[in-house]
């Protein structure tokens, strides 16, 4: 079922969802199941599975020489989506990236999703590769997420890339895209970022999931300006509980977001990461309660590995 159908069926009740990262290749999927199992009692209607970009690895060749190879450390997004759908009877949302994929590869991936009965995809540009300063489209790939949205919409209308087939079983993907309450790092202003978001929605995106934020005011302001800009689709807040002290530096650096002074202060007072994890849980509960009271359609949790903190939050809310 589509994410938007789940939202409509909930009739105003806030739903619980979360996203997971595929394990590093060579690891068993069981660890993933062990983290997901405790969250299933909160009945997530859908689970997102991220896609990570390829990266360069350097292999010793001897005599001081290194061989540079390109590899994907966490492949398997669509396979994991299929496995979760089958195991838990839950809808899954694979993240589809511009970066690292040709348009043809994207088409094949979408065809796989269609065969597997996956009804939703999240269309994202992806970040620059580690060695790059700026995002650069892969040869034969897309530069912006909007082009991915357009490709998926074309597929929904039976239009494949090279138009050599007549489609008699059209896909009907529900498309999610990313939104940034504190602006995307590369956008010159929040207004211009919103204009880009509106373009993605006009191209066919059905809903938006936000980047993490720690101050609900930022989300509520974002909703106001997005609605004023004519974006009417559901905007799902993304919440991440802080888990380690280093997040105080890492999260602002990686995601270009601000942390509220009260949260920084509470984390700084912690003696160890166990205490930080508890502070993260309490902060996320507070944030989520306010969002729930404001009637948000879904609260989407960035789980990233161990799920005990997400379970502690969900127990208070769902
Ligand atoms: P876009 O919408 O393409 O926007 C990128 C930038 O370009 C923005 O600054 C925008 O304002 C600007 N822009 C857009 N269109 C144009 C245009 N036509 N001309 C000029 N400028 C333009 N990353 C991963 O690698 N894997 C994941 O699984 C993943 N999941 C995510 C899930 C969520 C909910 C979010 C919020 C982010 C996720 N990301 C993921 C990170 C995301 O890939 C990065 O934030 C990336 O830098 C931007 O992606 P986007 O889809 O927002 O890009």
Q: What pLDDT does 229 receive? A: 97
Q: How many residues does the chain have?
A: 318
pLDDT of 271 above 90: yes
Q: Does domain 3-315 have CATH number 1.10.287.1260?
A: no
- Ligand 1, atom 12, lies closest to the CA of 187
pLDDT of 305 above 90: no
- Ligand 1 mutation pick, 125, 149, 209, max ligand atoms within 8 A of CB: 125
HEC states along 244-255?
CCCHHHHHHHHH
What region does 90 belong to: left with phi over 0, alpha with psi -120 to 50, or beta?
A: beta
Q: What pLDDT does 125 receive? A: 98
256 band by pLDDT with thresholds 50, 70 and 90: very high
User: Domains of the chain: which residue ranges?
Assistant: 3-315
Q: What pLDDT does 119 receive? A: 97
Q: Within the chain, how many helices (H) and strands (E) appear?
A: 11, 10
List helix spans (H) across the chain: 3-10, 30-36, 77-88, 103-115, 145-156, 190-202, 216-228, 247-255, 261-268, 273-293, 308-317
The response to whether residue 127 sits with its C-beta less than 6 Å from ligand 1 reads: yes
- Ligand 1, atom 23, lies closest to the CA of 126
**pTM attached to this predicted model:** 0.97
Q: What is the pLDDT of residues 145-195, one digit of tens each?
A: 999 999 999 999 999 999 777 778 899 999 999 999 999 999 999 999 999
* Known active-site residue 221: no
Nearest to 95, CA basis, from 256, 226, 219, 238:
238
What region does 25 belong to: left with phi over 0, alpha with psi -120 to 50, or beta?
A: beta
- Whether 44 contacts 318, CB under 8 Å: no
The response to whether residue 178 sits with its C-beta less than 6 Å from ligand 1 reads: yes
Q: Which residues contact 67 (CB under 8 A, 6 or more apart)?
A: 58, 59, 60, 61
What average pLDDT does the structure give for the chain?
A: 95
131 band by pLDDT with thresholds 50, 70 and 90: confident
Rounded mean pLDDT of 20-27? 93
Q: What is the pLDDT of residues 232-248, one digit of tens each?
A: 999 999 999 999 999 99
- Ligand 1, atom 28, lies closest to the CA of 50
pLDDT of 36 above 80: yes
- Whether 209 contacts 122, CB under 8 Å: yes
10 band by pLDDT with thresholds 50, 70 and 90: very high
């Amino acid at each position: 079922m589509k994410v938007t159908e789940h939202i409509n069926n909930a009739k105003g009740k806030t739903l619980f969802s979360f996203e997971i990262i595929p394990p590093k290749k060579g690891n068993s999927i069981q660890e993933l199941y062990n983290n997901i199992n405790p969250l299933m009692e909160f009945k997530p209607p859908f689970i997102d599975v991220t896609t990570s970009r390829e990266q360069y690895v350097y292999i010793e060749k001897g005599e001081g020489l290194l061989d540079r190879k390109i590899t994907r450390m966490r492949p398997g997004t669509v396979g994991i989506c299929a496995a979760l759908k089958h195991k838990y009877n839950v809808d899954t949302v694979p993240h589809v990236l511009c970066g690292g994929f040709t348009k043809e590869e994207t088409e094949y991936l979408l065809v796989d999703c269609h065969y597997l009965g996956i009804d939703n995809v999240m269309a994202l540009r992806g970040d620059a590769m580690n060695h790059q300063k700026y995002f650069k489209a892969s040869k034969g790939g897309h530069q912006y997420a909007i082009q991915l949205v357009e490709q998926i919409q074309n597929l929904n209308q039976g239009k494949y890339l090279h138009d050599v087939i007549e489609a008699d079983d059209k896909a009907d993907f529900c498309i999610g895209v990313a939104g940034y309450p504190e602006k995307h790092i590369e956008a010159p202003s929040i207004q211009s970022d919103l204009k880009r978001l509106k373009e993605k929605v006009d191209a066919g995106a059905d809903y938006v999931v936000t980047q993490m934020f720690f101050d609900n005011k930022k989300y509520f302001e974002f909703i106001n300006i997005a609605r004023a800009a004519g974006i009417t689709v559901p905007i799902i807040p993304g919440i991440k509980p802080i888990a380690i002290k280093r997040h105080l530096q890492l999260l602002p650096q990686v995601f270009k977001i601000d942390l509220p002074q009260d949260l920084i202060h509470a984390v700084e007072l912690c003696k160890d990461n166990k205490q930080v994890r508890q502070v993260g849980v309490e902060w996320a509960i507070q944030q989520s309660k306010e969002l729930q009271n404001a009637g948000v359609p879904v609260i989407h949790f960035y789980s990233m590995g161990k799920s005990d903190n997400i379970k502690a939050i969900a127990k208070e809310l769902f």
